Amino acid sequence: MLVRAPSFAVGESLDQGALLVASLPEARATATVPRIVRASEREARLRGLVDRYIDFVARVLRNAGTPDAEIDDDVQRTFIAAANRLDDVRKGAEKSFLLQIALHVAAHARRTVARRREVHSDEAPEIIDSFSTPEQLTDQKRARQMLDRVLYQMGPELRTVFMLYEFEEMNMAEIAGALDIPRGTVASRLRRARVEFRDRVRALEGITKAEVGS
């Protein structure tokens, strides 16, 4: 069973969204648009992006390998980067734009963790290392740990397509548009990702049963 990444509670999302918008860069005036009108329009668009996509960005970061302790900061980094380039984003393409930024931020977070902890490429980060016994962990937490470990071990191209299709419920056309790749490539990566996911889950389940039985 697939487990979705935890998202912010409704009240928490709104509160964090308000604080986030307040911290984003201010609008730049243009020669043809009064500053106050331009700022108001830009702030309204930013607030709309934050309110609509803050949970989406957090999930993308989480499932792309960002450590839990870094997610809040990286959500802010994502929206700050988006704010700095907001005028270049065509309306209707905001989700794809935020996705690209979030994936870039998550990749940077993974590299930082790897350098900090000197993790080998075939090992998982410390936060998802070994499983505890069933008595020490709930089934949901163990499933989340297994998912973290499997996703971490997948290559970024397969992980991204798998994550968007299975967790974010984006269709192949949407994923192709967001990642700027052909639909056939999306379908191929998704098939490979599903096979790899199943194989890795089976392998980890075998390891877990052996650890519990030992």
Which CATH topology does 128-214 take?
A: Arc Repressor Mutant, subunit A (1.10.10)
d(CA 112, CA 144): 22
**Per-residue pLDDT, 79:** 94
CATH 1.10.510.10 for domain 12-118: no
What confidence tens digit (pLDDT) does each residue in 45-104 have?
899 999 999 999 999 999 888 888 899 999 999 999 999 998 888 888 899 999 999 999
- Locate the domains of the chain by residue range: 12-118, 128-214
* DSSP per-residue string spanning the chain: ---PPP---HHHHHHHHHHHHHHSPPPPP-SSS-HHHHHHHHHHHHHHHHHHHHHHHHHHHHHTT--GGGHHHHHHHHHHHHHHTGGGSPTT-HHHHHHHHHHHHHHHHHHHHHHHHT--TTS--GGGSS---TTTS-HHHHHHHHHHHHHHHS-HHHHHHHHHHHTS---HHHHHHHHT--HHHHHHHHHHHHHHHHHHHHHHHHHHHHHHH-
pLDDT of 94 reads: 92
Does residue 5 surpass a pLDDT of 50?
no
Please give the pLDDT value at position 1: 45
Q: Which residue has better confidence, 169 or 36?
A: 169
pLDDT band at 149 (very low <50, low <70, confident <90, very high): confident
* pLDDT tens digits along 151-197: 888 998 999 999 999 999 999 999 999 999 999 999 999 999 999 99
